[in-house]
Structures are given as C-alpha cells and as structure tokens.
Amino acid sequence: MGSGEERVALLDGSRGEEEELESGLGLGLVQRSWIESKKLWRIVAPAIFSRVVSYSMNVITQAFAGHLGNLELASITIANTVVVGFNFGLMLGMASALETLCGQAFGAKKYHMLGVYMQRSWIVLFLCAVLLLPLYFFATPILILTGQPPELAEQAGTVSMWFIPLHFSFVFIFPLQRFLQCQLKNSVNAIIAAISLVVHLFVTWLFVSKLQFGLIGTTVTLNFSWWVGAFCQFGYVACGGCPETWKGFSMEAFTGLWEFLKLSAASGVMLCLENWYYRILILLTGNLKNAEIAVDAISICMNINGWELMIPLAFFAGTGVRVANELGAGNGKGARFATIVSVVTSSVIGLFFCLLIMALHDKFAFIFTSSSVVIEAVDKLSLLLAFTILLNSIQPILSGVAVGSGWQAMVAYVNIGTYYLIGIPLGILLGWIFNLGVMGIWAGMITGTAVQTLILAFITIKCDWEKEALIASARMEIYGSSDKP
C-alpha cells in the first residue's frame, strides 16, 4: 500500500479541479476528467484482464474435456454452467456487499475496517456455501428434472461433486478480490490471475495429457488453480501487502453479522437476477419448435456478448469503487462526477463494439461455425446483438453506482419488475403468441433491460449526492466502523 500522502491524493486529488469546474473553465473540466479517468482505468484495466483470465481458465478446462469425448464435454459444461454457475452468481453477488462497505470505509480513511468487513464476508459466505451443498449432492436428480438425458445427468452429477472444493474457494477469493480492489490494488488481482492461468495450463496438461487422469483429473485442475489464486491473494494480504487495512484476525468480525448478512443477501439477489436473465433466453429458445439451429445461433451471439461483457463488468467494478470511495470521503460531487466519466467512457466503448458487430453482421459467426444455415440465423440476430451490447455498456455501470451507493435492495426490486415481470413475459408473448421465435424472445428481454436501464438512469440523475455522502457516513456507524486502529 502506498504512503498516506498518496492515498489522500487518490481520494482528494480532484478537489482543486472542482473549483475550476464550478467557475466554468473548460480547461478545469478537461483536467478533472483526465484525473478521474486515470483513477477509473487504474481499477478497470486490471479488472478486464482478471475477468478474461478467469473466463479463459473455464474455456481451457472445457477444451481439454472436449478431447476426451462429447459426453465428457457436455458433462463438465452442464456441471460448470448450471450447478457451479448458479452458486458462483449468488456468492459473487453476496461478496459485492464489500464493494459498498470497503469502498466507503477506504474513502472515509477507516482503513482497519476493510479487514474486519472482509472477515465478516468470509463468515457469511462460508455459511452460504454450506447451505448450498445439497445442489452438488443432488445434482443428478435435479438435472434429470430439467430434462437432461439420464446418462448426461449422472456424469454431470459426478463432476459436480468434484467441484465442491472450487465451490468453497469462492468463499475466500471473492472477498479477497474486492478487499484489494477497494483500496486500488487491482493490479495485484491481475498478477495473481496471470499466475493462476499459468498454473492451470501446466496442471491441466500434466493431469489430463500426461498422466491421463480423465474427466475427474480435468475437474481437479480447476479446483487446484482457483485455490492457488486464493492462497496467493491471502499470502499477499497477510504478509505485509496491506499493513493498514489488514490487522490480523479479529473478534470484531463476529459483531454486526445480521446487518452485514442483509446487505450481502440484497447484493446477491440483485446480481443473481441479472446473471440468470440471459441464461433464461437460451433455456426458452431450447423449447421452441425445431430449436437446434436457433439454439446454435443464440449461443454464438451470447458467447460474443459474454466476451465483450467483460469490459462493462470491469467498469461495473471500477464505478462501484470510485463512487464508494468518494461517498466515504464525504465528497458527493466527486461521486457524481465519477459516475458521469464512467458512463461516458463505457458508452463510447460500447458504441464502438455495437458498430463493429453491425459492420461484421454476416462474418463474425465464422469464428464458431462453418454451417451456412447457422451463419444466416446469426446474421438475422446481429442487430439485436448490437443493441444488447450497447445497452450492456450502460446498464452495468449504473448497477455499479448502485453497489457503490448501497442501493442493492432497491435495485433488486427494479430487476424483478423489469426483467421478470416485463422482459420475460413480453419475450414469451412475442416468441410464441406472435410466432416471432428466438427474435421475439430476445426482443422482449431486451425491452426489459432497456426499461431497467431507464429506471436506474432516472434514479441516478435525481440522486442527491450530498445526502448519499451523509448516508455513507451513517452506514459506517451502523456496520460497526470505529476510529480505533
């Protein structure tokens, strides 16, 4: 961690430029935008790298499994996407409560509380992980109930059991990532992600190609690599990397757990509702008549969308940290300006990819398939994909503002209304009643996302940022913050 003067500069460096901005000087606005952009990209750039690396580790695992056979590939894909993916989304969301609390505590210079909050998150996530274990033990009957073939469901259930160590790694690695991220140490996360990727490549080659351990060996490699990341992060924190924010294990972590649990649950519900939304699109598409081509086409589009989504998700993290830091420091105007810079930057990037998809509408599917029928189907969906990418360049950033401000419970209600009471019913109506097929389903769900984005934009625009700064200060007291080191 840098010197005290460096941290003050990070949080207060734009105070002088704010006076120039308020006086109406264009140069002041440019300077302040540049300063804010540097702070933002210090978080966003390593976050993009870390997310791409994590995504790549799953791809590598599935690629090695694919060389074992079609059933093995399908088994590990189903286990990783359905069983692990469900728990991943929930626990990742619950860990996001730290983005509110650690970010605001760091901005308020209550540095020792970051370590206490992280320990509370470990406790809450561990209890959650234990409660979620039946999903692994009963994965086979659950998958059979969803319509999976018995042979596939049985093997995927076996694979799921071997993913339990991976499941418990989420308990530690998600809070550690956010703990480091909130004190502007995202570069540490990126370096450790790179180490984990190298380890994963070597261990996968050793266990699968060299030692011929088969499907179980492939599963074990992912467990091993994620735990390497968790131990590296904790080693960095505990061995002096964060001397002011990590004071060792504390009994204070066991106080205020109920309030912490409520915020964690709200964060988990908020992000899970978003995480599951477009997974439902593929599920609904699979129930159409003659769905094979439609599922292939929508899967290609969702892969492209998921790839590009790593960038807005990094901005989600960066925005949450910047807004929380400024609110914790009592700088409501700084939080507002950080929001504006982040939304504009992400929107420009999203517009670029939107135009790129429209320009390559009949070509980008060649990355995944040579089937002329599937390529034609993807071509028809390209306009919807482009619009989805554009929306996704704004919506996650507004969600990041919500996390940084502590609005998770309110946004969870917004997500339920717009996604599940507007988007999905409208998609079903257009897809089945009006016989528009996959285009109707997707168009309906995009409408839900658009409505949600408009509501979040309205809430953000109407926000009283000075009041939010006072609320952040009060939140520090509610969650047990103190001035003692």
> Which pairs count as long-range contacts for 59-64, CB under 8 Å and 24+ apart, including other chains?
60/200, 60/201, 60/204, 61/200, 61/204, 61/218, 61/219, 61/221, 61/222, 64/204, 64/208, 64/209, 64/218, 64/221
pLDDT digits (tens, 9 = 90+) for 208-264: 878 878 888 888 898 999 999 999 999 999 998 999 999 999 898 888 888 888 888
Enumerate the domain spans of the chain. Answer: 33-255, 271-485
Among the listed residues 84, 117, 339, the one whose alpha carbon sits nearest the alpha carbon of residue 222: 84
Mean pLDDT over residues 321-325, rounded?
90
Higher-confidence position of 136 and 56:
136
Give the whole-angstrom CA distance, residue 164 versus residue 223. Answer: 8
pLDDT digits (tens, 9 = 90+) for 419-448: 889 998 998 899 888 888 888 888 988 899
pLDDT digits (tens, 9 = 90+) for 378-409: 888 899 999 999 998 998 899 889 988 888 88
pLDDT of residue 224: 92
Higher-confidence position of 142 and 72:
142
CA angle 17/23/25 to nearest 5° reads 70
Average pLDDT along the chain: 83
Contact 253, 119 (CB under 8 A): yes
SS3 string, the chain, reads: CCCHHHHHHHHHCCHHHHHHHHCCCHHHHHHHHHHHHHHHHHHHHHHHHHHHHHHHHHHHHHHHHHCCCHHHHHHHHHHHHHHHHHHHHHHHHHHCHHHHHHHHHHHCCCCHHHHHHHHHHHHHHHHHHHHCCHHHHCHHHHHHHCCCCHHHHHHHHHHHHHCHHHHHHHHHHHHHHHHHHCCCCHHHHHHHHHHHHHHHHHHHHHHHHHCCCHHHHHHHHHHHHHHHHHHHHHHHHHHHHCCCCCCCCCHHHHCCHHHHHHHHHHHHHHHHHHHHHHHHHHHHHCCCCCHHHHHHHHHHHHHHHHHHHHHHHHHHHHHHHHHHHHHHCCCHHHHHHHHHHHHHHHHHHHHHHHHHHHHCCCCHHHHCCCCHHHHHHHHHHHHHHHHHHHHHCCHHHHHHHHHHHCCHHHHHHHHHHHHHHHHHHHHHHHHHHCCCHHHHHHHHHHHHHHHHHHHHHHHHHCCCHHHHHHHHHHHHHHCCCCCCC
pLDDT digits (tens, 9 = 90+) for 83-109: 787 788 788 888 888 888 888 888 888
pLDDT of residue 432: 84
Per-residue pLDDT at 336 exceeds 90: yes
pLDDT digits (tens, 9 = 90+) for 155-207: 888 888 999 999 999 999 999 999 998 888 888 999 999 999 999 999 988 88
pLDDT of residue 264: 85
Quick one: what percent of the chain has pLDDT higher than 70?
A: 87
pLDDT of residue 68: 74
Per-residue pLDDT at 24 exceeds 60: no
Per-residue pLDDT at 449 exceeds 60: yes
pLDDT of residue 2: 42
Per-residue pLDDT at 12 exceeds 50: no
Per-residue pLDDT at 375 exceeds 90: no
Per-residue pLDDT at 338 exceeds 90: yes
Contact 468, 331 (CB under 8 A): no
Give the whole-angstrom CA distance, residue 7 versus residue 26. Answer: 27
pLDDT of residue 76: 77
